[in-house]
Structure 1
């Protein structure tokens, strides 16, 4: 029963995010909006986090399998990826560098406290 409840919570958030994206025509994918809704609901305590725990653990345990369809889907866009290799590489390296710098600054400030 715990799996059904936790999957239902995740699916409701996903469908709500997709509906919001469809109705507002935002450039943000509906799945991301759904994750933000789920984060908000769990972090504010509207729904206890242990209600979503079972499905989350199941999906994390099988996360490698969940990436297979995405990787196969990328094969359809190999020509587009090849044309934009440099911008993709630069944006990946640049964003990683920014994350590392911010994380380093945050950890440094936290350790000084």
Structure 2
């Protein structure tokens, strides 16, 4: 699939995620809906990884560029950030180890699952 087709697929899934989020009675991020939809399509084989490989590699390689608007927003609200620095540092300090632990356990679980599948073959 060419680059324009890959972009169309990714942006199309983003558009569907926006539509689903607009229809939900509760507030839910459209980006999460789009990622879950993409995961389902990849796991079912409807979309193959080769169908989005070039564009996804480009997006991951240039990921820092996409954080510039967030950084500008933080800089614009610097005084508010300074006033909330202590609660923010406490939250980050408590949740970061938790995220590392959950990520590590998930990776170990997936590695064990893969090993068991290979043993069954």
Structure 2 spans left out of the alignment, 5+ residues: 117-121
SS in 1 for 2:59: helix
1:94 is displaced (CA, Å) by 2.0
With over 3 angstroms needed to count, the CA separation of the structure-2 counterparts of 1:103 and 1:57, relative to structure 1, is: closer
What number of residue pairs does the alignment pair up?
Answer: 111
1:56 and 2:87 aligned = no
1:41 is displaced (CA, Å) by 1.0
Q: CA RMSD in A?
A: 2.5
Structure 1 spans left out of the alignment, 5+ residues: none
TM-score (norm 2): 0.74
Q: 1 CA distance for matches of 2:32 and 2:105?
A: 27
Corresponding residue of 1:35? 35
- Pairs within 5 Å for 1:1-113: 2-105=2-105, 107=108, 110=112
SS in 1 for 2:26: coil
Query: What is the CA deviation profile of residues 65-94 of structure 1, one whole-angstrom value per residue up to 9, with x for unaligned ones?
Result: 111122112234334433433332222222
